[in-house]
């Protein structure tokens, strides 16, 4: 029997994604983002969250998906990866779910246009519903983390 995982469910377009709860610090409404020059286009800038400067990445841009207008549902999910806090802009985040690790399959090569290296796996919630589990360390791969850390400095 696999282990139980608690995941935050969020949406990008029509696809549902999951991040393990223990990696999520907080979920915030959209807020003003200070642009930072000379960064990747998906790095939207930084926010000041309760006195902490946090780089913000638009996950749509990170995955090469078309950009969408921000709405009342848009959220910034603050995650902690490798001792660093980063905000992910997502279309909506409105669910916490318990998953059994046995329901997570290896990712196919591409899901919704997103390359497998960014994915930890795909969880079968039901016959109709799949949850794409993110591989956060790959979403924030080393060379980009170094660039983001220089923003914080």
Domain hosting 80: range is 4-152
Are the beta carbons of 132 and 110 closer than 8 angstroms? no
With H, G, I as helix, E, B as strand and everything else as coil, classify residue 4.
strand
Are the beta carbons of 10 and 17 closer than 8 angstroms? yes
pLDDT of residue 75: 97
With residue 11 as reference, give the H or E element that holds it.
strand 4-12
pLDDT of residue 138: 78
pLDDT of residue 101: 85
pLDDT of residue 149: 54
The one-digit pLDDT tens for each residue of the chain (153 residues) are 778 889 999 999 888 999 999 999 999 999 999 998 888 888 899 999 999 999 999 999 888 888 899 999 999 999 987 778 999 999 999 899 999 888 888 876 655 555 667 778 888 888 888 888 888 877 777 565 455 555 554
pLDDT of residue 65: 85
d(CA 87, CA 56) in angstroms, rounded, equals 4
pTM of the model as a whole? 0.85
pLDDT of residue 77: 97
- Number of Cβ within a 10 Å radius of residue 66: 8
Per the structure, the count of domains in the chain is 1
Environment class of residue 41 by beta-carbon count within 10 Å: exposed (0-12), middle (13-18) or buried (19+)?
A: exposed
DSSP 81: E
123: tokens are: 């969880």
d(CA 151, CA 129) in angstroms, rounded, equals 38
Query: Which CATH number does the domain housing residue 100 bear?
Result: 2.40.50.180
């Amino acid at each position: 029997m696999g282990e139980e995982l608690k995941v935050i469910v969020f949406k990008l377009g029509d696809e549902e994604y999951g991040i393990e709860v223990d990696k999520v610090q907080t979920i915030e409404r959209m807020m003003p983002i200070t642009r930072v020059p000379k960064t990747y286009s998906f790095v939207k800038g930084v926010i000041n969250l309760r006195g902490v400067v946090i780089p913000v990445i638009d996950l749509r841009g990170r995955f090469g998906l078309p950009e969408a207008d921000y709405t009342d549902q848009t959220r910034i999910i603050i995650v902690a990866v490798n001792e660093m806090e980063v905000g992910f802009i997502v279309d909506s985040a409105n669910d916490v779910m318990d998953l059994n690790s046995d329901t997570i399959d290896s990712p196919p090569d591409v899901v919704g246009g997103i390359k497998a290296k960014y994915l930890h796996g795909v969880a079968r919630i039901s016959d109709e519903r799949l949850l794409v589990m993110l591989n956060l360390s790959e979403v924030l791969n080393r060379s980009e983390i170094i660039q983001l850390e220089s923003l914080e400095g």
